[in-house]
């Protein structure tokens, strides 16, 4: 199939190029020891085709990729040169069946790059990026293939295809057109060059972010400078420093976002400032991992690519294939929300400044003060802070008695840990998933802890995608970046980490419940501005009383979280929403500004452009920096969310409306869960996403629930 896993986010590659498959370079079968040794060429014999991680070595990937590409091109040549009249089966379904070996190798490799990388894999990734781009070029620019698809499109009314097959035909036609199939030969050659450059630069950007994040960890000399952290957190910092050969010191690693978790607790303002500045200066202060020029090159090449394809800018190209459709729609939403969000943030800042002044602080609120004084304000307003919650949020209880429990109550599914399957890291756990009737349905991988070899953030991915075409059941993984405590100590989560665990499992459910014929439409293979919707809905169960009291039990005493504390959590739901909305909108607006540029408008200074863009958008409020600054904004420059970071808020409109539906219909019930599963989660991309929503909700979405939730109405 044409969907190659070219990133950990499993976003479909949009590269294109050469004019004919037969002109592509091919190689003879690699009948050598390296090829014979790799276990990647055949499907795993383990349950569900779960990868045999214990057998896969670094040296297995290169020959497997070479052979996978060779086999794929042979299949493509057979389709393109088929003398028989083009039919849906011998062309479109054949394309969907093609490339299984390459897809398997790519899936495992890029997931390992994200979760457990090393210098050898990174070097191979750099080498592979332009090769995989060229491989896609050979296919999606092939005139013979496009002619066959065109012939089928012209007779579609006579074919009497089922709805999913009809949609597959549409998607393949769209893929070829958006990849440049209608361009002249000279323009196809230009596009091929741009695609190769983009692939290499995107890989470089992501690798720089990981290396810079690791290199920018803050070293603290004395324990007293860590006052405010728990003894467990201090022990973790000491162990991290020792692992780097810095005995007697303390190391605070950086997380993915601009804000850092320890900023809420550290009492030493100078250390807070060092931590915040280390975070926001990533990739913009010189050195080997500086991303300023890389971001500029990516923005310029994307703009050139879009114009070559007939679009005014890259955002217009990208949004055409999303549910938002146009830059006008996205700009309207972001610009309408920004003034109210910033006004809320400024009101919150004024409250924080009062606390500073009351404590005789001779300084103005800065970004590194926000989280610290927000916790003080939370304590003053609601008489609780995050440290009171953490003893009730032990990781295993959150996962099994919270995340899994809610899924069981809603959908009837159950989980059994599988310790017989190999894992790529000792901290990874695997669970078999059983449907309500007791039949086995999937495997779920839980990879919860942070490590230097793992990219930041949290995400879901598929190792095996469900499809009845190949009779495959899903293998789905969730990845978080929770700091791992010293051996023997419990893993106690923050409220945000609990929310993230439920969020990512919402993505997992989208993959686990997939019931489609074609892998192209499996699970989360939906538009980017729809993919976050089911995951955001699943967040609601984290604080649902029945669920919360089942998992939120004190890790020492077993005491259920007190109702008084639950009431305070509920009362504070809209607390700090000005900050949360503003930092997100600032990043989303930055994304759109970068990708709505024409080639002639690309700036020479990335940081100056960022500053001006935030000012013009009205979100340049210094105490609230963007959730991501340009030089470490991997979502848009290294991943699959270029011109699409708005998607989280766009999806939240659907989410907030859906939460109201669950509340109106009795909440956590099998009837409700089964309806959501049947009408939406199981459909993947097999029908138009908004049609799925309307089938579930009975109408188009309304924005009012979101405005109320965010404190904007």
Q: Give the SS3 label for residue 256.
A: coil
What Rg, from alpha-carbon coordinates, does the chain have? 25
Copy the structure tokens of residue 594: 């970068």
155's CB contacts (< 8 A; 6+ apart) are: none
Q: What are phi and psi of 480, to 5 degrees?
A: -120, 175
CA distance 148 to 82: 10
CA distance 377 to 240: 31
Tell me the CA distances in angstroms from 166 to 79, 89, 311, 443, 691, one per residue in order: 19, 12, 27, 30, 15
The conformational region for residue 320 under phi > 0 = left, psi -120 to 50 = alpha, else beta, is alpha
CA distance 213 to 367: 19
* Helix H or strand E segment including 478: strand 475-482
End-to-end CA distance of the chain: 46
Cβ atoms of 625 and 583 closer than 8 Å: yes
Given 504, 583, 610, 652, the catalytic residue: 504
CA distance 86 to 100: 22
Q: What is the DSSP letter of 398?
A: I
CA distance 131 to 200: 9
Q: What are phi and psi of 105, to 5 degrees?
A: -60, -45
Report the DSSP pairing between strands 475-482 and 459-464: antiparallel
- 504 catalytically annotated: yes
CA distance 260 to 627: 10
CA distance 507 to 523: 8
Positions marked active-site: 504
């Amino acid at each position: 199939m044409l969907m190659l896993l070219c990133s950990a986010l499993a976003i479909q590659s949009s590269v294109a190029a050469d004019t004919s498959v037969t002109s592509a370079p091919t190689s003879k079968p690699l009948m050598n020891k390296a090829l014979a040794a790799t276990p990647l060429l055949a499907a795993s014999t383990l349950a569900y085709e779960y990868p045999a991680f214990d057998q896969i070595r670094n040296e297995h990937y290169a020959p497997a990729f070479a052979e996978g590409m060779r086999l794929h091109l042979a299949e493509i040549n057979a389709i393109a040169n088929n003398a028989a009249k083009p039919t849906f089966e011998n062309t479109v379904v054949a394309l969907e069946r093609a490339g299984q070996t390459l897809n398997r190798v790519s899936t495992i490799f890029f997931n390992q790059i994200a979760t457990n990388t090393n210098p050898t894999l990174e070097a191979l990734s750099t080498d592979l990026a332009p090769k995989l781009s060229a491989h896609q070029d050979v296919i999606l620019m092939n005139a013979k293939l496009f002619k066959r698809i065109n012939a089928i499109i012209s007779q579609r009314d006579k074919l009497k295809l089922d709805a999913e097959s009809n949609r597959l035909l549409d998607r393949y036609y769209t893929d070829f057109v958006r990849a440049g199939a209608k361009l002249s030969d000279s323009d196809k050659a230009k596009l091929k060059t741009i695609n190769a450059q983009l692939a290499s630069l995107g890989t470089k950007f992501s690798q720089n972010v990981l290396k810079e994040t690791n290199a920018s960890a803050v070293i603290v000399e004395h324990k007293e400078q860590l006052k405010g952290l728990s003894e467990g957190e201090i022990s973790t910092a000491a162990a991290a420093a020792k692992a780097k050969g810095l005995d007697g010191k303390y190391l605070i690693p950086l997380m993915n976002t601009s804000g850092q978790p320890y900023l809420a607790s550290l009492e030493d303002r100078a250390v807070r400032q060092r931590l915040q500045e280390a975070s926001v200066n990533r990739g913009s202060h010189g050195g080997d991992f500086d991303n300023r020029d890389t971001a500029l090159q990516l923005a310029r090449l994307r703009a050139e690519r879009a114009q070559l394809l007939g679009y005014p800018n890259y955002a217009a190209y990208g949004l055409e294939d999303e549910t938002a459709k146009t830059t006008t729609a996205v700009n309207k939403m972001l610009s309408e929300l920004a003034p109210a969000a910033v006004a809320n943030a400024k009101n919150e800042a004024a409250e924080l400044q009062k606390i500073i002044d009351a404590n005789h602080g001779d300084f103005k609120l800065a970004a590194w003060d926000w989280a610290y004084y927000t916790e003080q304000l939370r304590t003053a307003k609601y008489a609780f802070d995050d440290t009171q919650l953490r003893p009730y949020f032990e990781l295993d209880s959150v996962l099994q008695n919270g995340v899994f429990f809610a899924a069981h109550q809603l959908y009837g599914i159950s989980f059994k840990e599988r310790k017989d399957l190999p894992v790529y890291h000792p901290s990874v756990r695997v669970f078999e998933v059983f449907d309500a009737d007791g039949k086995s349905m999937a495997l779920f991988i839980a990879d919860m802890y942070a490590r230097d070899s793992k990219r930041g953030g949290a995400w879901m991915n598929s190792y095996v995608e469900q499809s009845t075409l190949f009779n495959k059941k899903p293998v789905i993984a969730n990845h978080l970046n929770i700091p791992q405590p010293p051996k023997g100590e419990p893993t106690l989560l923050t409220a945000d980490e609990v929310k993230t665990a439920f969020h990512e499992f919402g993505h997992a459910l989208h993959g686990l419940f997939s019931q489609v014929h074609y892998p192209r439409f499996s699970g989360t293979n939906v538009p980017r501005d729809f993919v976050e919707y089911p995951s955001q809905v699943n967040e609601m169960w984290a604080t649902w009383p029945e669920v919360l009291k089942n998992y939120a039990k004190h890790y020492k005493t077993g005491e259920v979280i007190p109702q008084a504390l639950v009431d305070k959590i509920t009362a504070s739901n809209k607390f700090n929403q000005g900050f949360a909305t503003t930092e997100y909108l600032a990043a989303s607006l930055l994304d759109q500004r970068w990708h709505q540029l024409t080639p002639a408008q690309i700036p020479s200074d990335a940081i100056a452009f960022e500053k001006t863009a935030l000012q013009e958008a009205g979100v340049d409020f210094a105490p609230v920096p963007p959730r991501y600054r340009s030089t470490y904004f991997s979502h848009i420059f290294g991943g699959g969310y270029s011109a699409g970071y708005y998607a989280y808020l766009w999806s939240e409109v659907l989410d907030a409306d859906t939460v109201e539906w669950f509340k109106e219909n009795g909440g956590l019930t099998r009837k409700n869960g089964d309806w959501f599963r049947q009408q939406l989660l199981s459909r993947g991309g097999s029908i138009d996403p908004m049609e799925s929503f309307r089938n579930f909700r009975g109408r188009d979405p309304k924005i009012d629930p979101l405005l109320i939730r965010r404190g904007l109405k």
